[in-house]
Structure 1
Amino acid sequence: MMPTRCGFVAVVGRPNVGKSTLINSIMGSKISIVTHKPQTTRHRILAVHTSGDVQAVFVDTPGLHRKAGKAMNRLMNRTAVNALADADVALFVSDATHWTDEDDDVLKRLRSCDAPVIAVLNKIDLVRPKEQLLETLAAMAKRHDFAEIIPVSARKHDNLDTLLELIPGYLPESPMLFPEDMRTDRSAEFHASEVIREKLTKLLHQELPYGLTVQIERYEQVDKRLTINAIIWVDRESQKGIVVGKGGNILKKVGQSARIELSRQLGQAVHLELWVKVKENWSDSEQDLMRLGYESP
């Protein structure tokens, strides 16, 4: 009988390189929300991938970024760094179409990481001309002594099988840490709050999405329908009207879109009610962050 292998796979990189998309594609379903805006992921989210005798626990992390002035930004950076400290192997995700100074910053942190690091060059479907990919791979090999360099397209599911075949070799022999049918450590309530925040982030512009968060007040099965009540907290009074929209149009769109997605995912009718409230500067208050379910910075 083959021994089981189990370990933590930290997925790190600067904001907006496709870390959450990569995990969702590997898992075959939405574990983490995804938008085109940086810093969508705020929490450490575990995605448990069990196949045969191997359990790879992927750790989705906030993007490491330079501007860490507010308490929430410091928390997000700390969350990503802590995930590295606990990892058996790290996936350093970068955008194959371009390299930035922020990528260099992440790489500097990785140099002090004890775990082997696999470079994952994402978005190869967007590289033009295609010959440029060979140069990008060669440049990546010079930047660090990576255990592996794997080009992928998370969005197109290109070359993910190769990545999944390599990872078990970096995991220790160990009993499985989670039940085989478990897919994430996050609750249904957390997922509902994240789906609502995803819809808000996609509809709102500029900096506003970074000043709001969602808190579930009620998550209850009533007859054959799931009832969800949620509060959308904003940083300032001036933001409340923007989130509600003219005649409530933004809030209605968010509610409808979130309800449809949650109904589809859960396979049942969902009744969703949303309220917008103000909590001044919640994102720069460690106490407010704790009350709203964020991990301690």
Structure 2
Amino acid sequence: MNFQSGFIAVVGRPNVGKSTLVNELIGQKLSITSHRPQTTRHRINAIDTQQNYQMVFVDTPGIHIGNNKAINSYMNKAASSSFADVDMIIWLVEIFKWTKEDARVLEHVSKVDIPVIICVNKIDKSGSVDKILPYLEMLGEKFQANEVFPLSAFDRSHTKQLRSLILKYLPEQDPIYDDDYITDRSQKFVVSEFIREKLMRNLSNELPYDITVEIEKFELDGKMYRIAARIFVDKASQKRIVIGHKGEMLKKIGQDSRITIEGFLEAKVFLELWVKVRQGWSDDKRALASLGYD
């Protein structure tokens, strides 16, 4: 039987639904999501292996403009580097929206000579076909994609159709990873991301992006994982917000994190969280490297 495999970059502006789509395509939660832009900071490979194919989806940070901290530079480099190293691209745009950041993605996509599928997301909110056609025509004038695919990332029939479309362009070659791999990242990395997701979801607009997570202990004790993580913030005032009144916010973040981590590790988890101020970490290349942004 002929086997197909390859790297598929999922690209687009921030907060367009890339991580949600990747999770749907591999059939489990791996990439973190929130309603806030720039939730995804790292490039992560999410691997779907079946009998006749292996699709390696490269989830990328959103390409964004402005906010010139070292961390923003890191995120844009992580996103733009993915265009050169893949076999095909899924470019996610949102119906009826076209921003300066979409135009920046277009600049990158226009430079590559590989198959590109434009997925038009949130089609479920678009109304009649008559309203959609002008937007699709506008996209066609800007870029001649191999395929344009209307999509609701939460509709599983859509993601099934999208997989079939990907197979039209995926190269015939041996698997890239062993068939039991679901990501190229370590369990520790994924766990730290899950904790950061819960921070972003629970803190909403109270706290900007001056927050990251480092795993200090990750041990399997019998059938239970014992995990300790340190949450870094930029200011003492932010530390108070993360901890909350009588520690209630940190407790809630810990409870939400533990449930998601247990689902991922398929085991009981004892989780400890601390909060520490590390001033200026998000604009310090050395600090970023020590925290895994390298």
Q: Percent identity?
A: 46
In 2, distance between residues paired with 1:74 and 1:173? Answer: 35
**Alignment of structure 1 residues 274-293 onto 2, 5 Å:** 274-293=273-292
Which stretch of the first structure deviates more once superposed, 116-125 or 93-102?
Answer: 93-102
**Alignment of structure 1 residues 3-18 onto 2, 5 Å:** 4-18=3-17
Shift of 1:227: 0.7
Deviations 1:147-180 (A, max 9, x none): 1101111122242222211212322232211012
Shift of 1:215: 0.4
Deviations 1:67-122 (A, max 9, x none): 15111100100011111110111111011142222211211221112322210111
Shift of 1:250: 0.8
In 1, distance between residues paired with 2:263 and 2:164? Answer: 31
In 1, distance between residues paired with 2:92 and 2:128? Answer: 21
In the alignment, which residue of structure 2 is the partner of 1:270?
269
Amino acid aligned to 1:268: A
In the alignment, which residue of structure 1 is the partner of 2:109?
110
Deviations 1:185-232 (A, max 9, x none): 111111111111111001113372410000000011123321110000
In the alignment, which residue of structure 2 is the partner of 1:248?
247
In the alignment, which residue of structure 2 is the partner of 1:184?
183
**Alignment of structure 1 residues 1-297 onto 2, 5 Å:** 1-2=1-2, 4-129=3-128, 131-206=130-205, 208-295=207-294
For structure 1, the residue ranges without an aligned partner over 5 or more in a row are: none
In 2, distance between residues paired with 1:114 and 1:235? Answer: 42
In 1, distance between residues paired with 2:96 and 2:50? Answer: 32
In 2, distance between residues paired with 1:160 and 1:179? Answer: 23
Query: Given that residues 56 and 168 in structure 1 are in contact (C-alpha distance below 8 angstroms), is that contact kept between their aligned partners in structure 2?
Result: no
Secondary structure of the structure 2 residue equivalent to 1:218? strand
In 1, distance between residues paired with 2:93 and 2:149? Answer: 11
In 2, distance between residues paired with 1:84 and 1:43? Answer: 15
In 1, distance between residues paired with 2:52 and 2:156? Answer: 23
Query: Given that residues 68 and 77 in structure 1 are in contact (C-alpha distance below 8 angstroms), is that contact kept between their aligned partners in structure 2?
Result: no
> Residues 85 and 18 of structure 1: is their aligned pair in 2 closer, same or farther, counting only changes over 3 Å?
same
Count, aligned residues = 294
Which stretch of the first structure deviates more once superposed, 200-209 or 90-99?
Answer: 200-209
Query: Given that residues 95 and 123 in structure 2 are in contact (C-alpha distance below 8 angstroms), is that contact kept between their aligned partners in structure 1?
Result: yes
Query: Given that residues 152 and 158 in structure 1 are in contact (C-alpha distance below 8 angstroms), is that contact kept between their aligned partners in structure 2?
Result: no
Query: Given that residues 88 and 115 in structure 2 are in contact (C-alpha distance below 8 angstroms), is that contact kept between their aligned partners in structure 1?
Result: yes
* TM-score (structure 2 length as normaliser): 0.95
Query: Given that residues 83 and 108 in structure 2 are in contact (C-alpha distance below 8 angstroms), is that contact kept between their aligned partners in structure 1?
Result: no
Deviations 1:34-69 (A, max 9, x none): 100000000011011222332121100000001151
Secondary structure of the structure 2 residue equivalent to 1:204? helix
